Amino acid sequence: MTPAMLTNRDARRLFLDRHLLLRPGSGPGSGADLAGVLDELGFVQIDSVNTLARSHDMILWSRRGRYRPAALDRLIARDRAGFEHWTHDAAVIPMRFYPMWRLKFARDEARMRQRWPKWQSEGWDSEIHNILKRIADDGPVSSRDVGDGESRGTSGWWDWHPSKTALEFLWRSGRLAIRHRQGFRKVYDLVERVIPADHLNHGMADAGIIDWAMTAAMERLGFATSGELAAFFEIATRDEAKDWCTDALRAGRILPVDIGLADGSIRRSFTTPALLDQVAGLPDPVERVRVLSPFDPALRDRARAERLFGFRYRIEIFVPAERRLYGYYIFPVMQGDRLIGRLDAKRDAGALAITAFWPEPGIRMGRQRQAGLRSELERLATFAGLADIRFADGWLREPMEGTPG
Query: What single string gives the DSSP state of each residue in 16-41?
Result: HHHTT-SS---S-SSHHHHHHHHHHH
The size of the chain, in residues, is 405
pLDDT at 158 over 60: no
Residue that finishes a domain, picked among 179, 195, 211: 195
Q: Please report which confidence band the pLDDT of residue 405 belongs to, taking 50, 70 and 90 as the band edges.
A: very low
Cβ neighbours around 83 below 10 Å, total = 22
Residue 130 belongs to some domain of the structure: yes
Residue that finishes a domain, picked among 195, 215, 242: 195
More confident residue, 113 or 249: 249
Q: Please report which confidence band the pLDDT of residue 356 belongs to, taking 50, 70 and 90 as the band edges.
A: very high
Which range, of 146-150, 195-199, 345-349, averages the lowest pLDDT? 146-150
Per residue in 177-194, pLDDT (tens digit) is: 999 999 889 999 999 999
**Mean per-residue pLDDT for 4-22?**
98
Contact predicate 5/260, CB 8 Å: yes
Distance CA 211, CA 385 (A): 43
Residue 159 belongs to some domain of the structure: yes
**Mean per-residue pLDDT for 387-402?**
90
> What string of DSSP letters covers 333-347?
EEETTEEEEEEEEEE
Q: Please report which confidence band the pLDDT of residue 155 belongs to, taking 50, 70 and 90 as the band edges.
A: very low
% of the chain exceeding 90 in pLDDT: 85
Residue that finishes a domain, picked among 195, 210, 238: 195
What's the mean per-residue pLDDT of the chain? 93
Q: Which residues of 220-232 are buried (b: 16+ CB within 10 A; e: fewer)?
A: bbbbbbbebbbbb
Which range, of 18-32, 85-99, 150-164, 324-338, averages the lowest pLDDT? 150-164
Instruction: Give me the CATH number covering residue 179.
Output: 1.10.10
In degrees, rounded to 5, the angle at the alpha carbon of residue 47 between the alpha carbons of residues 121 and 11 is 125
Residue 205 belongs to some domain of the structure: no
Residue 12 belongs to some domain of the structure: no
Instruction: Give me the CATH number covering residue 332.
Output: 3.40.630
Q: Please report which confidence band the pLDDT of residue 119 belongs to, taking 50, 70 and 90 as the band edges.
A: low
- The pLDDT score that the predictor gives to residue 149 is 58
Of 289, 308, 256, nearest to 12 (Cα)? 308
Contact predicate 299/305, CB 8 Å: yes
Residue 232 belongs to some domain of the structure: no
Give the three-class secondary structure for 198.
helix
- Tally of structural domains, the chain: 2
Phi and psi torsions of 158, nearest 5°: -95, 5
Q: Please report which confidence band the pLDDT of residue 151 belongs to, taking 50, 70 and 90 as the band edges.
A: low
Contact predicate 262/309, CB 8 Å: yes
pLDDT at 220 over 70: yes
Within 8 A by CB and 6+ apart from 345, the residues are: 51, 52, 291, 331, 352, 353, 354, 355, 377, 380
User: What residue numbers bound the domain in which 153 lies?
Assistant: 120-195
Q: Which residues of 146-162 are buried (b: 16+ CB within 10 A; e: fewer)?
A: bbeebeeeeeeeeebbb
Element (H, E) at 318: none
Distance CA 42, CA 345 (A): 28
Per residue in 267-299, pLDDT (tens digit) is: 999 999 999 999 999 999 999 999 999 999 999
Residue 322 belongs to some domain of the structure: yes
Q: Please report which confidence band the pLDDT of residue 404 belongs to, taking 50, 70 and 90 as the band edges.
A: very low
Distance CA 169, CA 164 (A): 9
- The pLDDT score that the predictor gives to residue 156 is 46
Residue 102 belongs to some domain of the structure: no
Residue 212 belongs to some domain of the structure: no
More confident residue, 166 or 270: 270
